Amino acid sequence: MQTQQAGEGEGDDAGNRQVAIFAGGCFWCLEPVFREVRGVLSVESGYTGGTVPDPDYEAVCSGDTGHAEAVRIEFDPSRVSYPELLAVFFAIHDPTTRNRQGYDVGTQYRSAIFVLDETQRRQALDLIARLASRDGAGGAAVFDAPIVTEVVSFSEWFPAEDHHQRYYERNPHQGYCSAVISPKLAKFRREFAALRAGR
């Protein structure tokens, strides 16, 4: 399985391509949303944040490898910013539940932002602080419980198996897709209309 180390083809050295890596539950849920964001060049589902080399889906789902299911997003920063991607990320998953998203339970489903440099780290921590303290109007906190999203340094990326890529696109009427993923897409389309591709 192809891997990618931190710093390989990432960040500003890649010209007009930058990379964001987010984990927020099942990667099937995140991938289709970010595919609809303007300026996103590619989205790949995979595994990161663990200690076992070359993990597969079965091993990651056991919870024993330390990896999280995640998405690796290549984007054009002249069309969409990293903070805008972060805003979408926090809107489409629950960052207050540790090691779970809905019925998906385990460390592989943790909420995490894998940062590639200190700028990404600062921007992620700044947004978490704002979300925890107030909403856009200066009122109550956005979430009813503390945010538990980890902000950690990226180390190595393992692409998921082919049948996990574009899963929702190929299986939109499957039960999990209809019940869990479709509402996330609808929320993104409703709340982030200005960020949708083609705008």
* Residue 177 annotated as catalytic: no
Sole residue written with tokens 């982030």: 192
**Dihedral over Cα of 6, 8, 13, 15: its sign:** negative
> Which among 126, 110, 35 is positioned nearest to 74, based on CA atoms?
35
Contact predicate 92/29, CB 8 Å:
yes
In angstroms, the CA 73 to CA 2 distance is 16
In angstroms, the CA 65 to CA 60 distance is 6
* Residue of 26, 29, 61, 177 marked active site: 26
Contact predicate 69/47, CB 8 Å:
yes
Residues identified as active-site:
26
